[in-house]
Amino acid sequence: MFNYIRFASATTTLPTLSLAISLFGAGLVATPAAGQTAQNVIYLSIDGLRPDAIDAIIAEGTGSNFARLQRDAIWTHEARTDTEAVFTLPNHTSMLTGRPTFDQVAPLGGVVIPGHSYVNNADPEDFPTVTLPGVGTVVSVANIHDNRPGEAYVPSVYDVLKQGGKTTALFVAKDKLDTVFNNSYDTFNGASGDGSPVPFEGQNLIDFSSLDSSTNDAGAGNIVDTFVQHVQTNGPQDFTFMHIRNPDSTGHEFGWVDNVVDQNLTPEYKAAVSQVDGYLGVLLNEIENGGVFNPDTTTLIITADHGGGATFDDNHGNPAAEAGEEDFTIPFYVFGAGVVPGDLYAANTLTRAFVDGVNTRYPVTGDPALLQPIRNADGGNLALELLGLDPIPTSFINADQNLAIPEPTTAALLALGGLSLLARRRRIA
């Protein structure tokens, strides 16, 4: 399950990496979470899922579980990807680290928001070097940290979870996610767990990891079944990051759309999204009726790494071309503990805003008040907040943990019962 392959440092560094990283810390990490809302959080990324496909399958009668989420979740179909890298590995790395892909640099220079720099989207085991248009040949290192010369370690949700005594899991459907995330947070590269991220003297930060890359097109098994079998046998981890690949695989094979002008979703792509709807039914049933999870203390966060079909009918966010709104517009749903159903932007009018058809840039010096859209990477620090934990050190996206679903309710806290929680809440208030 775990391997320890580490490739050499990049022979050609990315342009942003040569900049000094000197402004870490100040203002990027916010106050502690106010309390614990959930005992279990499942953070689910559905690869290549366009929001309009959700609406389409609901209209066609093959989206009953998404329809249920639209009644019972707080959600938006106007969430956004990373601004610059609109493809799989960079966005999933943002979800786990709370960082943009690239360092965000002020007009007069200096890094104001550190990126994670994992821009390469190839499987590092299959493609040890990759040529990226405009960037050149880069070595496809098999962990996040080695992309950051000058910075020893890139913390993630897993660091905070383990330091907070939580159990952790990773269920993914693509080899490259399994490779990169396990290699980044394993016993070799994981943080020390003593509160200071120290590389190379680690513990394994991911307690249970499962890869099912056969989950591709119709008929194959799927990662949700794997997950359900796991939790019914072993019980759940406190935090699970899960990844479903079907819409992306089908979009690349058959096209997200028939053509980019008309934007007609292909029947194959819609069928893949309907298939995911069925998986969601299994997952929702397990949360509510399976007996393993307490539905009052379990929260499900659902988003996507990107959409597709803006510029190429069978691709998305190609670095050789501008990513269009069909690529960077994604769903974001939160269901379960702490949630009051409704519109996610309406619950966050003071802190989040979107511009139709625009992927608002990250704020740099000079525009600190620029309201950010809800991004797929908001979910990492949201998950930690729900579990009563502080944000990811050096993260930026939702680092204030102010994405409201809305705020944790007294009812949700009472559902957790114990006086120990109330004591904890007083202690850290």
Least distance from Zn ion to the Cβ atom of residue 251, Å:
9
The yes or no reply on residue 82 touching Zn ion (CB under 5 A) is no
Our CA angle for 243, 247, 252, nearest 5°, is 115
Least distance from Zn ion to the Cβ atom of residue 265, Å:
17
Where does this chain touch Zn ion (CB under 5 A) — which range of 74-82, 88-96, 252-260, 355-363? Answer: 88-96
Is the Cβ of residue 38 or residue 244 nearer to Zn ion in the bound state?
A: 244
Where does this chain touch Zn ion (CB under 5 A) — which range of 83-91, 113-121, 348-356, 383-391? Answer: 83-91
Is the Cβ of residue 39 or residue 249 nearer to Zn ion in the bound state?
A: 249
The separation between CA 340 and the C-alpha centre of its own chain, rounded to angstroms, equals 22
The yes or no reply on residue 47 touching Zn ion (CB under 5 A) is yes
Where does this chain touch Zn ion (CB under 5 A) — which range of 45-53, 59-67, 113-121, 284-292? Answer: 45-53
Quickly count: other Cβ atoms within 10 Å of residue 150's Cβ: 11
Quickly count: other Cβ atoms within 10 Å of residue 336's Cβ: 27
Least distance from Zn ion to the Cβ atom of residue 87, Å:
6
Binding mask 290-309 for Zn ion (x = CB under 5 A): ---------------x----
CA distance 176 to 182: 10
222 in Cβ contact with 212 (< 8 Å): yes
The size of the interface with Zn ion (CB under 5 A), counted in residues, is: 4
Our CA angle for 317, 156, 167, nearest 5°, is 120
Work out which of 13, 36, 88, 168 binds Zn ion, going by CB under 5 A.
Answer: 88
Least distance from Zn ion to the Cβ atom of residue 94, Å:
12
Where does this chain touch Zn ion (CB under 5 A) — which range of 46-54, 222-230, 275-283, 333-341? Answer: 46-54
Least distance from Zn ion to the Cβ atom of residue 328, Å:
12
The yes or no reply on residue 315 touching Zn ion (CB under 5 A) is no
Nearest partner of 36 among 155, 162, 164, 163, judged by Cα: 164
Least distance from Zn ion to the Cβ atom of residue 92, Å:
8
Least distance from Zn ion to the Cβ atom of residue 90, Å:
10
Taking CB positions, which residue lies at the least distance from Zn ion?
88
Tokens of residue 267, six digits: 């029947």
Tokens of residue 294, six digits: 């307490």
Is the Cβ of residue 238 or residue 378 nearer to Zn ion in the bound state?
A: 378
Distances (CA, A) of 273 to 59, 101, 122, 231: 13, 27, 24, 24
Is the Cβ of residue 47 or residue 238 nearer to Zn ion in the bound state?
A: 47
CA distance 419 to 277: 38
Least distance from Zn ion to the Cβ atom of residue 250, Å:
12
Least distance from Zn ion to the Cβ atom of residue 305, Å:
4
Q: Contacts with Zn ion in 217-276 (CB under 5 A)? A: 248
Is the Cβ of residue 299 or residue 376 nearer to Zn ion in the bound state?
A: 376
5 in Cβ contact with 262 (< 8 Å): no
Where does this chain touch Zn ion (CB under 5 A) — which range of 42-50, 77-85, 161-169, 195-203? Answer: 42-50
Where on the chain is the footprint of Zn ion (CB under 5 A)?
Answer: 47, 88, 248, 305
